[in-house]
């Protein structure tokens, strides 16, 4: 029904050179229109809400709000908008988390341009897409872990609310309570309350443990 309409895309990546490369590729493709660029996860959610794209090309490792959480929020708020993850990570855990968050596909950043464009068109048709380089066992694991009785149906991190996940990442990135309050436009008391809930739900005793946990699950990364 949309053959005569462009696929409207939003690019979300914190690296300018990556966004520029993707825009150049997509601008040259007939039937594709880039409607915006986002520099981090929070920006991606805001611009998706404004532009209502068909597909968001989403990086995972972004500051402020991780691509996984941005994907969750977009999937919840904009069910008609699909998310295609473009990531350097081949780890199956990242792929599974992305699918569970609501992504429709996962493509590696070192893929050929033809594959990226093929993934975009597959998702627009309503299909799912995984880079061939990613083990197909991911599909079986996803179905198993996503079942109500699956062993990984709900990790500790998944028990956090949307706001708690935001505060969790900002704490892991080293922001203080006042800085988080200013960033999220809430009171310090609200941040302290959410922080206490995060620590309790994740069975953590201090910020050092929180940072270690955030690195283990891929929400933040050690500097190279």
Residue 211 has pLDDT above 80, yes or no: yes
The two tokens of residue 59 are 């990086």
Residue 66 · residue 89 · CB < 8 Å = no
- pTM, entire model: 0.70
* Domains, the chain: 7-146 (3.40.50.2300), 157-216 (1.10.10.10)
Compute CA 34 distance to the chain's CA centroid, rounded to the nearest angstrom. Answer: 19
* pLDDT tens-digit map of 4-35: 579 999 999 999 999 999 999 999 899 999 99
Distance CA 105, CA 138 (A): 12
% pLDDT > 70, the chain: 88
Distance CA 98, CA 93 (A): 8
* pLDDT tens-digit map of 60-71: 988 888 899 999
What residues are paired with 82 via a beta bridge?
55
User: Nearest to residue 32, comparing CAs of 10, 9, 48, 12?
Assistant: 9
Those residues whose C-beta lies under 8 Å from the C-beta of residue 66, and which sit 6 or more positions away, are: 41, 60, 169, 218, 219, 220
Distance CA 221, CA 202 (A): 19
* pLDDT tens-digit map of 99-155: 888 999 999 988 889 999 999 999 999 988 988 877 555 655 555 555 544 444 447
């Amino acid at each position: 029904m949309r053959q005569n309409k462009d696929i409207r895309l939003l690019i979300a990546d914190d690296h300018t050179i990556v966004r520029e490369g993707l825009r150049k590729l997509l601008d040259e493709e007939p039937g594709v229109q880039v409607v915006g660029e986002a520099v981090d996860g929070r920006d991606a959610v805001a611009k998706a809400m404004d532009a209502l794209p068909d597909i968001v090309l989403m990086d995972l490792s972004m500051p402020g709000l991780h691509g996984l959480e941005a994907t969750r929020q977009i999937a919840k708020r904009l069910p008609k908008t699909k998310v295609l993850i473009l990531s350097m990570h081949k780890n199956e855990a990242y792929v599974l988390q992305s699918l569970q968050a609501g992504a429709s596909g996962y493509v590696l950043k070192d893929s050929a341009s033809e594959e990226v464009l093929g993934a975009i068109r597959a998702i627009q048709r309503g299909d799912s897409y995984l880079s061939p380089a990613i083990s197909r066992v991911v599909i079986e694991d996803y179905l198993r872990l996503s079942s109500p009785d699956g062993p990984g149906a709900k990790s500790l991190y998944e028990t956090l609310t949307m706001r708690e996940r935001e505060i969790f990442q900002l704490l892991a990135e080293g922001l203080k309570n006042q800085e988080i309050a200013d960033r999220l436009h809430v009171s310090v008391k609200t941040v302290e309350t959410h922080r206490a809930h995060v620590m309790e739900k994740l069975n953590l005793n201090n910020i050092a443990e929180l940072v270690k946990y955030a690195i283990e699950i891929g929400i933040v990364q050690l500097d190279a």
